[in-house]
Amino acid sequence: MARRPAVLITGANGEVGHGLIEALAARGDCDVVAVDLHPLAKSLRPLVVNWQAGDILDEQLMQRLVTEYEVTTLFHLAALLSTRAEYSPDIAHEVNVTGTLHLLKLAHQQSSWSGRRTKFIFPSSIAAYGIQSLEEKAALPPLKEWEQLAPTTMYGCNKVYCEHLGRYYAQHYQQLAARPSGVGVDFRSVRFPGLISAETIPSGGTSDFGPEMLHAAAKGEPYACFVRPDTTIPFMTMSDAVRALLMLHRAPEERLKQRVYNITSFSISADEFRLEVLKAFPGAEICFDPHAQRQAIVDTWPRTVDDEPARRDWGWQPEHPVEVAFAEYLVPRIAARYG
């Protein structure tokens, strides 16, 4: 009895999951199986062939799924984000690291059955970086993938380690055993900047001040930004983030010179973010009330990253530079959303 080929998405209910499921459904060339701790959003249910509310650490749940589906690609999006992970570091480690390890094993198992490499697409983050001081942050050129990797958060540590685990599974797993060629895990990862969605509001992240500011203004609510006005990190629209995942997914493996790629769209300060929001919602009430510890986390993240390897190897280019992002994508959609 043949199993049905499918793309498995974990963390399917999250912000990236929403965008990804919609984009895959629009393409219509694969069946999607969705897993999330919480029941899948009703709007997404018609777009998938199966969804399960459950824990990625539940081996029985995951093994039951693969009795029915041959997982050809895994988009592993489930994670506790950086702020939430600081409140529950042990749980964060369990979900972010042990969960990823289990899924890498599952991907390897799938590949052994099918005789083809199983693609494993993993979102990493600028949180992988850890810059030691504001002076250094101001002076650094756009960071390359291998620079400044001493994160100060549990989430950042988890991401860096899982990047290594993925590379290990793709290139060195069972290196002392005789292995059939062409089998194994084809691990690919992008380091996302702060993501801004028009459809969903983030929760549990430390780059959330940007999207929170925008959604509050659109709802007509006041907003107190939890970082200083000068705080600068890279950002990207959710639509560009999903495009990046799909572009990386589609790239021929032989073109990929590395397994982890920086990507970025635009870097702006929290105050510049406020000014963009005010252009669209002139009456917005936005003030700054920095939270010392969350500020300290964002201060270790780079102002900008070097995404040249992604451009070179798989043609990465954002569709939404800053003006387009706000004027043509975010603002019209958010305004429509809140009426």
Among 13, 125, 152, 262, binds ligand SER (CB under 6 A): 125
CA distance 148 to 151: 8
CA distance 253 to 251: 6
Q: How many CB atoms lie within 10 A of CB 2?
A: 5
Stretch 43-102 residues interacting with ligand SER (CB under 6 A):
81-82
Q: Is residue 223 within 8 Å of 284, Cβ to Cβ?
A: yes
**In angstroms, how far is CA 196 from the centroid of its own chain?**
11
Catalytic residue among 69, 155, 169, 261, which? 155
Stretch 152-181 residues interacting with ligand SER (CB under 6 A):
155
**Whether residue 173 lies in the annotated active site:** no
Structure tokens, 202? 């983030």
Among 127, 196, 305, 325, binds ligand SER (CB under 6 A): 127
The one segment of 203-211, 213-221, 313-321, 325-333 that binds ligand SER by CB under 6 A: 203-211
Stated as kind and residue range, the H or E segment containing 270 is helix 270-280
The one segment of 51-59, 165-173, 202-210, 252-260 that binds ligand SER by CB under 6 A: 202-210
CA distance 228 to 111: 48
Stretch 262-291 residues interacting with ligand SER (CB under 6 A):
none
Strands of 136-196 (E only): list them: 185-192, 194-196
Among 205, 210, 234, 309, binds ligand SER (CB under 6 A): 205
> In angstroms, what is the minimal distance from the CB of 236 to ligand SER?
10
Which of 258, 293, 299 lies closest to 148 in space, CA to CA? 299
Comparison of 205 and 309: residue with beta carbon closer to ligand SER: 205
- Residues 6 or more apart whose Cβ sits within 8 Å of residue 46: none
Comparison of 10 and 207: residue with beta carbon closer to ligand SER: 207
Comparison of 72 and 207: residue with beta carbon closer to ligand SER: 207
Structure tokens, 268? 């702006």
Among 152, 200, 207, 300, binds ligand SER (CB under 6 A): 207
- Which residues of this protein are in contact with ligand SER, per CB under 6 A? 81-82, 125, 127, 155, 192, 194, 205-207
